[in-house]
Amino acid sequence: MDFHQLIVFVVIALLVISLYKEWVNPALSFFGAVVALLLSGVLDPGEALMGLANQQVATIFLLMLITAGIRSIFGGGFFLKLFKDNLSPRAFMLRMMAFVSTLSAFLNNTPIVAFMVPYVKDWADRNNHSGSKFLIPLSFATITGGMITVIGTSTNLILLGLINEYGQQGLVYSDFVYLGILVTLFTWAYFYFVGYKLLPSNPPGIESIKGHIKEYIVETVVFGGSPLVGKSVADAGLRNLKDLFLVEVIRGDRVISPVAPGEVLEANDYLYFSGNTQSIYKLINEDNGLKIPKEDRMESRGQFNFTEAVVPANSDLIGMRIKDSDFRNRYNASIVALHRNGKRVPGKVGGMVLSGGDFLLLLAGENPRAAFGERNLFLISKSLKVFEKRPWWIGTLGVLSFATLVLGITGVVPLFTACLLILLALVVGKVLNLVEIRRHLDLNLLLVLVCSLAIGVALVKSGAGDSIAHFILSHVQSLGTVPVLATLFLATTLLTALITNAAAVSIMFPVAMSLAQITGIPSTPFFIAIAFAASGDFITPIGYQTNLMVYGPGGYSFKDFFKVGLPLTVVYMVTCIGFIAWYYQLT
């Protein structure tokens, strides 16, 4: 092993640990890894930046914008018509999985899950079922549905970009469609007959709060003659309190939330604090002008405007302390509690550092959704219903967009060209505007993709990919080609469970390419193996963005994913390896 190979292995090991431990934002972890490879001489600047000129990376972003446009056209009306209240839980789950799997074959699955979570939770709440019975199936159905086509998941597109970059034999839609449909059908059947029983029945986050509201919020009143009357919140010393913060003021029939530092307090104002409840009682005992009201109004005042949100994997908020994020001003909402790994995180909310997949319970202002960006925070409590009346031809535009996308997938027209035409039509048709395009562009994701491709280059250039391939062959080649394929599949599956699918496919691509070259076997079966393995993360919430998005709203723990995902992973692996070996005649 030479110096450059050693550097590559050390950098990748540190990257995996950083992503697993969540030391920093994932994009920064990838960026740091590439900088280390640059400084050590493994990569030159051109190789580090080659992903910026990669057509498949550009296609991923075009598909994200197209998904946003088509979602805007059709809204949730079709979903509401398709899923009636008289369905049994299993029937609803099966119909929902079929619906999202079909969509995911043609559209980016992350926006689909963001769009669907509120509707799934709403249906579950209306029919007295736990949302946790349906959210993991929602995520897994989009994952397997995305494997049906070359554009259904970013994993496939990154793989295509690497294949084109190294002049390997290209993949076509038939390489994905048959196996993709097969594993999708198996996933539906698994959840209908087995998985549904293994899923937990967790109470909804908001309902849990309503049942224990005094654990989260303390009600106080500014009594007549209080020294606080006439003072602003900041002047009264209520802005930067230790271990708690002021989330809402009730003045008569008026609700003031979030509370500005300059808000002037009046007699009989009701102030609601969240955080360490013992701290507010200590504050009151110090005779600072507040007291606990004689009559508890929290039950009689009506519902608090609670809502729920999830921090996605590539959010700018990851790694930031809540008090440093200007959260209340950015989102017109205050964080009441933070849940991670299915449990409430104790302590002062302002001092907590946000991570991907964090589930936030918010006390929101009148219009929180208008302030929530698609990239940095997914608001998932309310179903988004579109009431805007559109011209008759907008629906036709949506259908034509789908048709053009199919032409791109099947190779009738170049996929990149098809995506550009669709985006142009959506902009000309005023379905999307420049402001919405900027909002949907995820620069963190761009950094992850570009850096992932650069890491793949480093593995090839340094010979580290060859070394891994030789190691695999030295242990299993004597057993035959299928065990070699199975070892590659298993290694990719374990890697994607710890880090992102984009990184997993980029790291394993050089290994797959080397295995094909050394054994003299066509590369296609090895490439298909790492594509399906990198996307097939069913045992952890961290390997795939959609798993993280349902992690908090479902109240799941790591154990829940492992319990329901392990049997599916075994079935998925056996199905994929068996089909690839048969289809490409490896036996």
Mention every residue, 6+ apart, whose C-beta is less than 8 A from residue 422: 62, 66, 69, 401, 404, 405
Lowest-confidence segment of 140-149, 159-168, 176-185, 384-393 by average pLDDT: 384-393
Tell me the mean pLDDT in the region 170-191: 93
**Mean pLDDT, to the nearest integer, of 570-587?**
93
Residue scoring higher pLDDT (256 or 348): 256
How distant, in Å, are the alpha carbons of 37, 45, 453, 529, 573 from that of 33? Answer: 6, 14, 12, 26, 30
Domains and CATH numbers, the chain: 3-202+437-583 (no CATH), 203-375 (3.30.70.1450)
Per-residue pLDDT at 500: 79
Of 153, 167, 290, 302, nearest in space to 219 by CA: 290
Instruction: Examine the pLDDT at 425 and tell me if it is beyond 80.
Output: yes
Task: Return the beta strands (E) in 175-289 as ranges.
Answer: 217-222, 244-251, 254-256, 270-275
Distance CA 218, CA 234 (A): 19
Question: Is residue 387's pLDDT more than 50?
Answer: no
Q: Where are the beta strands (DSSP E) in 366-436?
A: 378-379
Which of 147-161, 333-347, 432-446 tops mean pLDDT?
147-161
Share of the chain above pLDDT 90, in %: 26
Residue 393 pLDDT more than 80? no
Quick one: tokens of 554?
A: 């479902």
Residue 302: per-residue pLDDT: 44
Q: Is the pLDDT of residue 275 over 80?
A: no
Please tell me the predicted confidence (pLDDT) of residue 383.
45
pLDDT digits (tens, 9 = 90+) for 493-546: 988 888 778 888 988 999 999 999 988 899 999 999 999 999 988 998 877 888
Query: Which pLDDT value is given to residue 185?
Result: 97
pLDDT score of 297: 53
Q: How far apart are CA 114 and CA 124, in angstroms?
A: 16
Per-residue pLDDT for 373 more than 90?
A: no
Confidence of residue 195 (pLDDT cuts 50, 70, 90): very high
Could you tell me which of 207, 208, 196 has the C-alpha nearest to residue 136?
Answer: 196
**258: pLDDT strictly greater than 90:** no
Closest to 510 measured CA to CA, from 580, 455, 576: 455
Rounded to the nearest 10°, the torsion over CA 409, 412, 415, 418 is -110
Whether 249 contacts 269, CB under 8 Å:
yes
The mean of the pLDDT values for the chain is 83
Would you tell me how many other CB atoms lie within 10 Å of the CB of residue 391?
10
Model pTM score: 0.79
Residues 17-22 have a mean pLDDT of 80
Between 358 and 487, name the one with better pLDDT: 487
Q: At what angle do helices 109-126 and 89-104 cross, to 10 degrees?
A: 160
User: Which of 371, 419, 374 has its CA nearest to residue 111?
Assistant: 374
Highest-scoring range by mean pLDDT, 157-171, 358-372, 564-578: 564-578
Stretch (H or E) spanning 333: strand 333-340
Residue 165: what residue type?
E
Instruction: Show the DSSP H helices in 22-85 as ranges.
Output: 26-39, 45-48, 55-74, 77-82
pLDDT at 170: 82
What SS3 class is residue 220? strand
